[in-house]
């Protein structure tokens, strides 16, 4: 075996870099996220077991539905106290990101308090929910490595988080709002990377390679 082949043999496949856990708490579109992860060459498991989640290399926290009922499911499983203590990279998606904030107007829900902002409902004459492709700008952190300013991502939501100093991407729908957050090892996207074509795949890959 030549030197090049020996070096290539020592490089682990993408899926061997550590366990990826997608939190399964009954409030997420988890299969589409799992398929998106697998398309990138990684493997992931679905779990609501605190020990499996704590021991994961990366954690994805999805969410679809209504904030107060989703938070109730987290409390029932004890995950409301587990998620804020995680030390590995964590990615909240859509409602998952909103639940990582201080609170949400939806159902007067107290959140996990990871991102220091309150989620509020779109107001005025805007069509609600916002269901459309939208452009992201002011991109920061390695989460958006190789993603162009004004790239388009897919949004489905009626509530939003205002722009703060933890905002790492911005969208506009009547007003500017946070498309993504970062704080320490925690990341959140209001958009669905698993539904955002090649741009979403790049963002998801960037997270999995942190």
Using omega within 30 degrees of 0 as the cis cutoff, is the peptide bond preceding 129 cis?
yes
C-alpha 63 chain-centroid distance: 9
- SS3 category, 198: helix
Q: Are 201 and 193 in contact (CB under 8 A)?
A: yes
Closest by Cα among 210, 204, 126 to 171? 126
Closest by Cα among 71, 48, 28 to 194? 28
How far is 142 from 130, CA to CA, in rounded Å?
A: 27
Which residues are tagged catalytic?
A: 94, 192, 194
How far is 206 from 203, CA to CA, in rounded Å?
A: 5
Give start and end residues of each alpha helix (H) in 55-174.
67-77, 79-82, 95-99
Paired sense of beta strands 58-61 and 90-93, if any: parallel
């Amino acid at each position: 075996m030549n030197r090049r082949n020996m070096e290539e043999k020592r490089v682990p496949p993408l899926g061997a870099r550590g366990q990826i856990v997608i939190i399964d708490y009954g409030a997420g579109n988890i299969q589409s996220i799992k398929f998106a992860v697998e398309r990138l060459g990684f493997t992931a498991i679905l779990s609501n077991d605190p020990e499996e989640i704590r021991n994961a290399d990366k954690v994805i926290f999805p969410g679809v539905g209504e904030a107060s009922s989703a938070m109730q499911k987290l409390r029932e499983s004890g995950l409301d106290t587990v998620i804020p203590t995680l030390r590995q990279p964590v990615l909240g998606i859509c409602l998952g990101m909103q639940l990582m904030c201080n609170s949400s107007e939806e159902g007067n829900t107290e959140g996990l308090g990871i991102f220091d902002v309150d989620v509020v409902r779109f107001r005025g004459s805007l069509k609600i929910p916002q269901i459309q492709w939208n452009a992201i700008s002011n991109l920061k952190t390695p989460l958006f490595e190789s993603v162009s300013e004004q790239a388009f991502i897919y949004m489905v939501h009626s509530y939003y988080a205002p722009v703060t100093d933890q905002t790492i991407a911005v969208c506009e729908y009547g007003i500017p709002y946070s498309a993504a957050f970062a704080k320490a090892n925690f990341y959140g996207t209001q958009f669905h990377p698993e539904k955002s074509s090649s741009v979403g795949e790049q963002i998801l890959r960037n997270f999995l390679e942190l």
